[in-house]
Amino acid sequence: MSKLKPIYLYFSNGCFLEAKSFGSEGTKVGEAVFNTSMTGYQEITSDPSYAGQFVIFSMPEIGIVGTNDFDNESFSPKCKGIIVRDANEVYSSFRADEGLGDYLKKHDILGICDIDTRSLVKMLRKYGALEMIASTTISDKESLKAKLDSSLKIGEIDYIKEVSTKSAYSHTKSNFSYESWDYQEKDGLSKTIAAIDFGIKKNILHELVTVGFKVEVLPQDYDENTLIKDYKDKKIHAVFLSNGPGDPLILTNQVDKIKSLLAAKIPIFGICLGHQLLSIAHGYPTYKLKFGHHGANHPVKNELGLVEITSQNHNYNVPEEIEEVAFVTHRNLFDNTIEGLCYKEGNVFSVQHHPEASPGPKEASNIFAKFFAQVPLD
């Protein structure tokens, strides 16, 4: 391993640590969370829902297959940094374009290694998700504490403005081909869905196309009145509310837009942040979990009593009182929290987990086909 510069970490519970830097340099403030996935470090790092956060990997060896542009879940990764036990400078994969360290530097993401990640995970399980600061330029504990104390907290920042597309575009790619090692254009798409981009993952777009939707991706500042008119004119047939970062309770403008879409009786499907915003729009505010659900091995029981192994990435959850207006379709078997809802009024349902992520099993992905079947063409 080449000689690495020191980097200094300070957490809001007073923990102060020195580690090594293998990514970009500078000072960044964010929220520390941990992820229990054994693989998929590039997909996790490039997930827009991690904007404003430092991701601690519980898997100790990270970087062994390098990185490539194809595996990115977004066009521009936005997490603050990643924290790993051992960062592998030497990688081995026929698909790799560059090492993880170079990838992080290219996207201005801090890389932190040579640190006991097991202890950090145990700390977060005890104290919950913590605000933290990491710096390659500031080494003094009190200076780091002062800067962290004066910075905005993640729950005060509207990160969807940062991660959402700036302009609308169409997406018609699906059906991965190992011959071309790319997703292929799909013909015969019979229904059009407007996907509101709060930080949408590319594989969600692929899954929507796979089941038959032509996808029109809209930025987070979309005009809901235009969207409602397009629905009435049959230019679109449904709306998808994507995943995204941050606290949904501060997104009051988005909640108002969704209320208008609900009043227009548009079929709506939401994932993760979209799931949470639908709950708030129905009058049921979300709450923050102690340390969230972040990993690719979370068992969820669906409405048929079957267990699905799911990928998850969220810090917030909908309340039990939502059962007054919706049927619970999925529950997390780790803590019994709500993972899926079908609302009693309208053609509206949502899930908290990520059915597009394919953590190994793919049984959760059938929810896309279910929604497509429920959306009328005329």
Residue found by looking up tokens 């969207």 in the block: 227
Burial class (CB in 10 A: 0-12, 13-18, 19+), 360: exposed
Residue of 73, 272, 275, 339 marked active site: 272
356 noted as active-site residue: yes
Residue found by looking up tokens 């969704």 in the block: 258
354 noted as active-site residue: yes
207 noted as active-site residue: no
| 183 closest CA partner among 211, 213, 203 | 203
Q: Which residues form the catalytic set?
A: 272, 354, 356
